[in-house]
Every structure is written in C-alpha cells, then in structure tokens.
Structure 1
C-alpha cells in the first residue's frame, strides 16, 4: 500500500475514492435515520437487521471503519505534503482571492467531522458493541420486549441541548467539507464529460441537503420530546 501511494497523484486518487465510498455510506445512513422521523417501527426493523446481519457486521462494517480511518489519515498526509511543498510563501498572499474558504480549509472541516465521529461512535457504536458482545444480548429488545433502537436514539437528544448543539454544528462542518470534497473527488478520478455540469449541481445539492437532513432529524427528536 505504501508503495502504491508514493506519488501525489496516487494519494489524491485514493483519497477521492475513499471519499466517494463514504458519501455512499452517508446517503444510506441518512435514509435509515430518516425513517426514525416518519416510522419508528420501520427504523427499529431496519436497525435490527443492520445490527444482526452477518454480511453487514462482519464485512461491510470493518470496510466502513477502514474507509473512515484511511480517508482521514490520507487527508492529513496530503495536507502535510502540500505544506512542505510550498517552499515559497508570499507575504501578502490572499488565498481567498484564488480559492474559497471551504477548499482552503478542508483539513479544519475534516478535523471537526472526525471529532464528531468520535462522539457519534461513543453514543451509538460502542454502546451496540457492549450490548451485543459484552452482555451477549443479540435480541435488540428492551425490558418491555420491544425493539430498543428508536428509544435509544431519541434518548440521545431528548433533554440534551448541548449534545444537540454539538451535532448540529458538526453537520454544518460536514456540509462545508462536502461542498468542496464531493465535487472535487469526481474531478480527481477523471470524470470530465458532458454530464460534469449536472453532476456538479448534484454534488452541491447533496452537500447541503444531507447534512441539513441529519440536523433536522436531531432537532426533530429534541423538540418532539420536550
């Protein structure tokens, strides 16, 4: 792997592919989470399937974790390499005149998203691992004999304004990260044809709608349980 990623082009290409992979996960994750707003029963059923299916747990989940770690490590590597490559720095250089803030500060938005993922993993993934593998409870049921996923999700936001604020702020930074990263990923892998203009519109819409959708879900569960 280290040999393959020795060149700058290879690193950027790998970064773009991992980013596109994570975008697919975001779309799937949002679709599942949004069912918690419209149908708690559907959310419970899908969550139980995702949490107990062997293919998801043993194959897709490790691949996802690797993708997240790889993407962020590669992002930091590219940032370090880019900084070292800037031998000549102009004293009066105005970065904003050459590139928008989001493209010049991907490392900042990425770092915030990474910190948020740590909280999100603590809130949900670690809890699931404890229940399923430490406590040995694979049923997904609560004390009343009902699926527990919806009530546990709601409990993270009900009466939790600080956690809600952190989640919403993190989704704003996710939006900023996607506004540049999603579109540039396609450019990096060489997607440049008559559909490029339409694809750019789609990536911008996705970058805005999906993070706002996640924020809406969190706010909905907070307000709905005041």
Structure 2
C-alpha cells in the first residue's frame, strides 16, 4: 500500500487493473440488461440469481464497490499530481498536438461517469438494499423486470442515462486501451488490442443507450 501511495507507476498500474476489472463488470452488466429487451422472464431469472446468490452479493459486490472507489480515487490523485508537476503552461506547449481530446479530458469524462454511478446507485442499488435488508420483503423473483423498466418512464432520467453513456464511451476510448500499456503489455500486442478496445468502447455504451431508449418508447 505504501508503494501505491508513493510511486506514480504503481498507482497507474493499480488504476489500470481496477479499470480492466470494471470493464469486465460493465460487459456482464450489459449482457444481463440486454435480456430485458427480448425476454422479461429471462431477465427476471438472471437478476434473481444475481440478487440472491451469496457469492455475488457478499464477495463480488463488495469487491466491485472497492474497485470503483480505488479507480476514481487514484484517478483524482494522478490528475492532481500531473497538474502540479506541469511547469510549462499550454502557451509554450500545445497539448492537443500530442494527445487526443479524450486523453486530455479523462478527469472530466470520469466525473460524469462518477455522477452517473451515483444516479445508478440511487435508482437501483439503494432501493434493492432497502427492499431486501431493511424492509425485509419476501423475495419475489418476478419483480426485477417491472422495477427496472419503470425507471425509464421518466424522459429526464432516460436522457441522463443516454448522456452518461456517451461520456462513458469517451472515457473508455482512451482509458481502456491505455490500461494495457500501463500494465506493461508489449507494443505489438497493444496495437492488436487497439481495434477491439475501440469497438468495445463504442458498442457497449451504445447498447446501454439502446436499452434505455427502447424501454422508454415501449412505455410511451
């Protein structure tokens, strides 16, 4: 831990690993949510399994929350240190000539993604915790689909989800591929992965947007 706090390289590696872990969760989350488009029964079955499985609830879920905290905290620490370390102003150094818009604005796209996570926790995770562990309702394995699609009856909330996933795509377009560099992948393997990370960074957020828009218009 002291090494992570003192070494910028160690912080970048841990941030990259936590980011790659969150990418895996994002894919799993998308695959589950996408079932809601074509089968309420399948979505209920998968959601019930995830919501009642001890391994998922009490091991993977805390690890996921810890991964989110580590990723964003280290992101802010690295951004603060990078800004503090800059001696030359942009008047003398044209940052846009050597980097993409996504790489220069990771902190801002990250803040939007963090705000979305807060909204997502407010919409889904907190109500689920209250339902199961505070109000202690009897388990209903058919409730998940109705509770999920009801969130998308509100056009403002649906629009916020769409905007958030656009910013998530921008964040991933730089962060996903650069994570492989941070963990030491050889340049030739990195170049081979670049196309796959770009496709993932565009298609998965678009998939989430499609799910939100589909459920909104399906209820109008």
Q: TM-score range by the shorter chain?
A: over 0.9
Q: How does 1:180-195 map to 2 (within 5 A)?
A: 180-192=174-186, 194-195=188-189
CA–CA distance in 1 between the matches of 2:2 and 2:129? 31
User: After TM superposition, what 4+ stretches of structure 1 lie above 6 angstroms from structure 2?
Assistant: none
Secondary structure class of the residue paired with 1:172: helix
Matched, 1:80 2:74: no
What does residue 176 of structure 1 align with?
170
Q: Which runs of 5+ in 1 are unaligned?
A: 142-146
Change (3 A) 1:197 1:90: closer
- Deviations, residues 31-59 of structure 1 (Å, cap 9, x unaligned): 00000001110100010110110000110
> Displacement, 1:19?
0.3
What does residue 144 of structure 1 align with?
none
Task: Work out which of the residue numbers 121, 143, 152 in structure 2 matches 1:148.
Answer: 143
Change (3 A) 1:95 1:194: closer
Q: Which runs of 5+ in 2 are unaligned?
A: none
CA–CA distance in 2 between the matches of 1:121 and 1:138? 22
CA–CA distance in 1 between the matches of 2:179 and 2:57? 28
Q: How does 1:56-95 map to 2 (within 5 A)?
A: 56-95=56-95
What does residue 111 of structure 1 align with?
111
Secondary structure class of the residue paired with 1:56: helix
Q: TM-score, normalised by structure 2?
A: 0.97
What does residue 152 of structure 2 align with?
157
CA–CA distance in 1 between the matches of 2:39 and 2:189? 36
Matched, 1:219 2:208: no
Q: Number of residues paired by the alignment?
A: 220
Q: TM-score, normalised by structure 1?
A: 0.94
Of Structure 1 and Structure 2, the greater helix share is in: 2
- Deviations, residues 103-151 of structure 1 (Å, cap 9, x unaligned): 000000000000010000000000000000011125135xxxxx11000
The two structures, once aligned, show a CA RMSD in angstroms of 1.2
CA–CA distance in 1 between the matches of 2:176 and 2:138? 36
What does residue 123 of structure 1 align with?
123
Secondary structure class of the residue paired with 2:5: coil
> Displacement, 1:198?
2.5
